[in-house]
């Protein structure tokens, strides 16, 4: 087995500012003429083209994260609020622009800019992604529970949120700070 080499690229604040400006300019170039479906299709095609072009594995791995973002938008059980759909679609629009920073047909490097931009987008949307992953895990378990009970209702974002609230209430009630006789010091609320 070949030894893996590690390449780390560090961006300082100036570099990140430049990349964000490039991202915004590219997004503006795409404009509002592309519909949500066109942007999603372009993202899916980007991954296929990169794979067919033999892009490096680290690029393919990063571009694969676009699928999760697309799934977040399209998942009818997740019901992403319109303002969040707009944020994700605006982020994905960069990948629908054929005129990106490095032309995709440059051998070995053509998809490098896309991989970097995916990392920036994923970092920016990390909260939404974490919540979506948590929901998907919850849904998987909950679907099995419901099926065992003969319940065929879909598991929705509202179910997930209700469960999160219930757990937070239990944790709050079980915490020492909630029970005055278990606290070591008095609170201003006592």
What is the model's pLDDT at position 98?
Answer: 76
- Shared domain for 163 and 108, answered yes or no, is no
What is the model's pLDDT at position 129?
Answer: 93
Q: With respect to residue 188, please indicate whether it lies within any of the assigned structural domains.
A: no
| Residue 40: half-sphere exposure toward Cβ, Cα within 13 Å | 15
- Shared domain for 25 and 42, answered yes or no, is yes
Asked if pLDDT for residue 46 goes beyond 60, the answer is: yes
- Of 163, 182, 161, nearest to 173 by C-alpha is 182
- Shared domain for 140 and 67, answered yes or no, is no
Per-residue DSSP letters for 149-170? TT--PPP-HHHHHHHHHHHHHH
Q: With respect to residue 121, please indicate whether it lies within any of the assigned structural domains.
A: yes
What is the model's pLDDT at position 154?
Answer: 94
Q: Domain limits at 72?
A: 17-125
Asked if pLDDT for residue 135 goes beyond 80, the answer is: yes
- Shared domain for 70 and 114, answered yes or no, is yes
- Retrieve residue 90's tokens: 């605006």
Q: With respect to residue 5, please indicate whether it lies within any of the assigned structural domains.
A: no
Asked if pLDDT for residue 58 goes beyond 60, the answer is: yes
Number of domain units in the chain: 2
Mean pLDDT computed over every residue of the chain: 85
């Amino acid at each position: 087995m070949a030894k893996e080499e590690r390449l780390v690229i560090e961006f300082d604040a100036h570099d990140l500012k430049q990349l964000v400006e490039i991202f915004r300019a590219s997004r503006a170039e795409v404009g509002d003429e592309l519909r949500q479906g066109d942007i999603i299709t372009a993202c899916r095609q980007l991954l296929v083209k990169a794979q067919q072009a033999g892009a490096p594995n680290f690029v393919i791995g990063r571009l694969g994260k676009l699928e999760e973002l697309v799934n977040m938008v399209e998942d009818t059980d997740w019901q992403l609020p319109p303002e969040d759909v707009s944020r994700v679609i605006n982020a994905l629009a960069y990948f629908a622009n054929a005129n990106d920073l490095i032309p995709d047909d440059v051998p070995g490097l053509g998809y490098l800019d896309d991989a970097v931009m995916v990392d920036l987008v994923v970092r920016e949307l990390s909260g939404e992604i974490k919540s979506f992953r948590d929901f998907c895990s919850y849904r998987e378990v909950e679907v099995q529970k419901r099926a065992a009970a003969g319940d065929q209702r879909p598991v929705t974002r509202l179910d997930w949120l209700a469960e999160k609230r219930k757990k937070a209430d239990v944790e709050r009630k079980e915490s020492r700070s909630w029970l005055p006789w278990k606290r070591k010091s008095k609170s201003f609320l006592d």
